[in-house]
Amino acid sequence: MKINESKTVADVVTENIKASNVFKKYGIDFCCGGGITIQKACEKNGVDYASLEKELMVVDEIPNRNHDYNSWDLSFLIDHIINVHHTYVEQSLPIILQYAEKVATVHGHHYEEVLKINSLFQDAAADLASHLQKEELVLFPFIKQLVESDKEGTEFTAAHFGTVNNPITMMENEHETVGDIFKVIAKLTNNYTPPEEACNTFRALYASLEEFEQDLHQHIHLENNILHPKAIALEKKLSS
């Protein structure tokens, strides 16, 4: 997107709601205090204008995700899931939690649905924080051991949880739980359509929730439909 020093923070966010997350990252108020120029906002918050400008310029860039994931080595796929999707979740959760809390506090008396959205997203955030840890500390390392054993032609050591099916079943149940939460959130937000008179924080919340759900669908697809079945098949191969 095109910006310049004389544009106000509110102008930029109004033009492209995705910019709100960049301002949020740097602690710049884009809602009630968004009527000042970007330059002044940077001076006020001790932010380097060039750094902010660089991030705003690429806010619309969408990474190419047209990959043949099914052909990838499982260890490489795991690293991709962690580096792309887990990192996205970890970076997005605190921002969206702040948006949801603020909108619920300011607008909950008029739009009761945002109170429920706030509560639901808090539940989803707590579930995901625990979920990612279990994947990174338990399931993913074991799958990588299976891959290594297959490459080296060595025996693999059975895990304390038994077959890989056990943690996979747990992870997929947790995927379903979070997925169900977002089905309710999508309904409550009218498919992420903010009211016409919504402020920028309100709009940023809905836009961020929609983006989060889209990433979640891709994230779960890679695990449920590619990683998990292949890990199960690989374990059976090595056990036979």
What confidence score (pLDDT) does residue 230 get?
A: 95
**Res. 20 pLDDT band, cuts 50 70 90:** confident
Residue with token string 């994230």: 219
pLDDT reading at 96 higher than 60? yes
Q: pTM for this one?
A: 0.81
Distance separating alpha carbons of residues 213 and 183, to the nearest angstrom: 9
Distance separating alpha carbons of residues 185 and 193, to the nearest angstrom: 11
Residue 227, Cβ density class (10 Å: 0-12 exposed, 13-18 middle, ≥19 buried): buried
pLDDT reading at 5 higher than 80? no
pLDDT reading at 32 higher than 80? no
Question: Hey, what's the torsion of the CAs at 51, 53, 55, 60, to 10 degrees?
Answer: -170
- Tell me the average pLDDT across 199-204: 94
3-state SS, the chain, equals CCCCCCCEHHHHHHHCCCHHHHHHHCCCCCCCCCCCEHHHHHHHHCCCHHHHHHHHHCCCCCCCCCCCHHHCCHHHHHHHHHHHHHHHHHHHHHHHHHHHHHHHHHHCCCCCHHHHHHHHHHHHHHHHHHHHHHHHHHHHHHHHHHHHHHHHCCCCCCECCECCHHHHHHHHHHHHHHHHHHHHHHHHCCCCCCCCCCCHHHHHHHHHHHHHHHHHHHHHHHHHHHHHHHHHHHHHHHHC
pLDDT reading at 13 higher than 60? yes
Query: Bigger pLDDT: 60 or 73?
Result: 73
**Res. 64 pLDDT band, cuts 50 70 90:** low
Beta bridge partners of 37: 8
**Res. 63 pLDDT band, cuts 50 70 90:** low
Distance separating alpha carbons of residues 215 and 10, to the nearest angstrom: 27
> What is the chain's length?
240
Distance separating alpha carbons of residues 69 and 77, to the nearest angstrom: 7
Q: To the nearest whole number, what is the mean pLDDT of the chain?
A: 91
Cα-flanking dihedrals φ and ψ of residue 78, to 5°? -60, -45
pLDDT (tens digit per residue) in 180-194: 999 999 999 999 999
Reference 12, options 199, 48, 3; nearest CA is: 3
What confidence score (pLDDT) does residue 7 get?
A: 86
pLDDT reading at 24 higher than 90? no
pLDDT (tens digit per residue) in 154-184: 887 777 888 999 999 999 999 999 999 999 9
Domains of the chain by residue range: 9-57, 69-239
pLDDT reading at 145 higher than 90? yes
